[in-house]
Chain A
Amino acid sequence: MKNLNLILAGVFFTLAASFGGLLLSGQVQLGQLNRAPAEEGGPLFPAKEPGLAIQGRQVYISLGCVACHTQQVRPAGQGNDIARGWAARPSVARDYILQSQVLIGSHRLGPDLVNYGARVKSDDELHTYLRTSVAGSVMPAYGFLYTQSKDGSFRPTEDAVALVAYLKSLKIDYSSPEAKLKQ
């Protein structure tokens, strides 16, 4: 322990070990995932994201929505995510393979959004929600994403349109080889 090189070598070893044990072996297992059908010959999931949704993800990232919203549903028995109706099945690694930046999040001040696209009713409703939020909620209103025209109606900016397309694209309403929808 008197030698600088010895300490450095030791610490290097500890980091290298966890790097190899966690990240390299994780990469071996996760790095090869492809889109897959739930059943032989069926359509491939996850579906390709619409271009507008890809733009919308940038808006989501740039406004820091991940501070309050997660995008992951834990298996039943590990938390009550499914019981809360956030999705019918747990999220699996394959769901994320097409996403350029994975935003699973670590803090929930608001509901999980991984399957939000399956429960949103209409674009208009979502636009109104983002513009005004709801009274008494911690969710901030994003009024600056909208411009008001002369007749008093609100028009979404390009960012708002993209964001809504993104939120609507968030869906795990399909079965994957790892997790089937029950019904």
Chain B
Amino acid sequence: MSQEHSSSRSSVSRIDASVSLPVRLFIISSILWLLVASVLSLIVALKLQVPSFLSDCAWFTYGRLEVLQRNAFIYGWASNALFALNLWIMSSLARFELKSSWLPVLGGLVWNLTLTYGLIQVLLGQLNGFALLEMPKEVAPAMVVAFLFAALWPAVAFARRPTGNVFVSQWYIIGATFVFPVITVVAQLMLLWCPTLGVMQALVHSWFYQNLILLWLGGSALSAIYYFIAKESGRTISAYYLATVGFWTYFLFASWTGPATLLGAPIPVWLQSVGVVAALMMLVPIVITAVNFFGTLAPRSGIAQSWNNTTLRFVLVGTVSFIVSALLSVVFSTRSLNALVRFTEFTQAQEHLAVYSFVSMVIFGAAYYILPRLTGSFWPSAKLVHLHFWASTLGSLLFVVAGLNHGWAAHGRTDFAVSALPGLVAAALLFVGHFAFALNAFGMLTAEEAPSSRRSY
């Protein structure tokens, strides 16, 4: 599929070597969590098809497994992978050699151990009702501290960079990294430690949730899109002067969109309206990023060239998904349309589009670029890369289209039929894709250790 290997360096650069250990730890953990989350998605999808499957024991009820899946995916897979991406991208942009790599390693270990502990507690029934805050409250302080150790380094790299140059990716990384601990601490305090009254909780949760998805995950992924589009196409970002505006408007408006996810809920109507306005204003950063990305790639058959490059192919799917998901949120935060699809699989499909088709596809693309540079070896199998790409792309396409379609159709109906089969097939496809990815990645990471391996510089 790709010519990327021809450009791979003959040895691992000093900067890459300095971050190698933590980046590897993050990537390995993220892939393991991805596998866990994929198996859980399969089980959850199967339970919708066959509700009696694994239903004889409280541990494996739909409600708990769904919580496990979501947390393993967001905190285990996406967050670990973004630790890796942010650190690697920032070090290479800021020419930063990490001296004390044991600190992020420690952070990563604590993060993963706490997450494991939290998820076991959930399995045993110690959970809360707030999405992505379900783990027992004693978990959060440890995770925030672990986050600081694991994710602080890009900011250090940025502060110590030798040149004055700044690239837009760097702002997104700094911003995204700042957001996570702040919103987590605020939400934990206002929901679990000293809970606010009544539906204030729903409001706080919506604020936390939107910031987490759009700013921590989305912001980090946008940074990677800017980086890889510029790097792999060898072009300068078109209309680059707009990128600053894009960055600030994205952060400014995204963090107000929470109430737009609560339309019709028993919270004051003016708050809902503020959310809707913020959601509409998101058009500004969406248009700017679209101009930046497609303005860069579209001329001189850049899209076709990107399609032949593994990293860019994944990133391209992620970019298109970002735009589509962002536009869908804009359109469906208008009250009348929102009323039709709220609570249905439509919203689930929208969310999948954001956290999978956008954020995860970008991470995959980045991993295909970063790992060879860290290990100095090649991806063992191009076939597996193909398999991964198509299984992931088609699987998420199926999930999204079936969900949007079913959710849209649901407003006319009063029964509770679910479109379980497409979800199951999609989960199976994603599982195949992730398995292929994991095989390839672990093949590469272990092959390198063996001296007789196929290093062909």
Contacts and interface: CB of A to CB of B under 8 A. Distances in A.
Interface stretch (A37-45, A48-56, A72-80, A115-123): A72-80
Given A11-B175, A14-B255, A33 B51 contact: no
B57 to A, nearest CB: 6
A171 to B, nearest CB: 15
Contact of B199 (A104, A139, A140): A104
Most buried by B among A10, A30, A61: A30
Contacts, number: 207
B239 interface: no
Interface of B: 47-48, 51-52, 55-58, 61-64, 66-67, 125-131, 155, 158-159, 164, 166, 171, 174-175, 178-179, 182-183, 186, 190, 195-204, 207, 211, 244, 248, 251-252, 255-256, 258-259, 261, 263-268, 271, 274-275, 335, 339-340, 342-344, 347-348, 411, 414, 416, 418, 420
A62 B51 contact: no
Interface string A66-100: 11101010110111100010000011111111111
A141 interface: yes
Given A72-B266, A91-B266, A96 B57 contact: no
Given A22-B207, A66-B129, A92-B266, 14 more contacts: A21-B256, A22-B258, A65-B63, A67-B62, A72-B266, A75-B264, A100-B195, A101-B128, A103-B129, A105-B343, A137-B51, A139-B51, A139-B416, A143-B56
Contacts of A141: 51-52, 55
Count class of interface residues, chain A: 35 or more
Contact of B339 (A64, A79, A92, A93): A79
Nearest to B176: A11
Contacts of A84: 414
- Considering the complex of A and B, which 7 residue pairs feature the smallest CB-CB distances, nearest first? A64-B63, A74-B264, A96-B198, A108-B343, A18-B255, A78-B264, A62-B125
The binding surface of chain A is classed by DSSP as: loop
Main secondary structure of the interface of B (DSSP, over half): helix
Contacts of B274: 21-22
Nearest to B336: A78
B266 A95 contact: yes
A10 to B, nearest CB: 7
B51 A133 contact: yes
Contact of B196 (A31, A77, A91, A92): A31
B55 A140 contact: yes
A35 B271 CA distance: 22
Nearest to A91: B266
Contacts of B340: 79
Contacts of B264: 72, 74-75, 78-79
Contacts of A31: 196-197, 200
Contacts of A111: 416
B200 A30 contact: yes
Contacts of A101: 128-130, 195, 201
A7 interface: yes
Contact of A93 (B199, B248, B255): B199
Contacts of B199: 30, 93, 96, 102, 104
A104 B128 contact: no
Contacts of A99: 198
A110 B418 CA distance: 10
A47 interface: no
B67 A64 contact: yes
Interface centre among A8, A93, A111 (most CB of B within 10 A): A93
A86 to B, nearest CB: 11
Contacts of A133: 51
Nearest to B248: A10
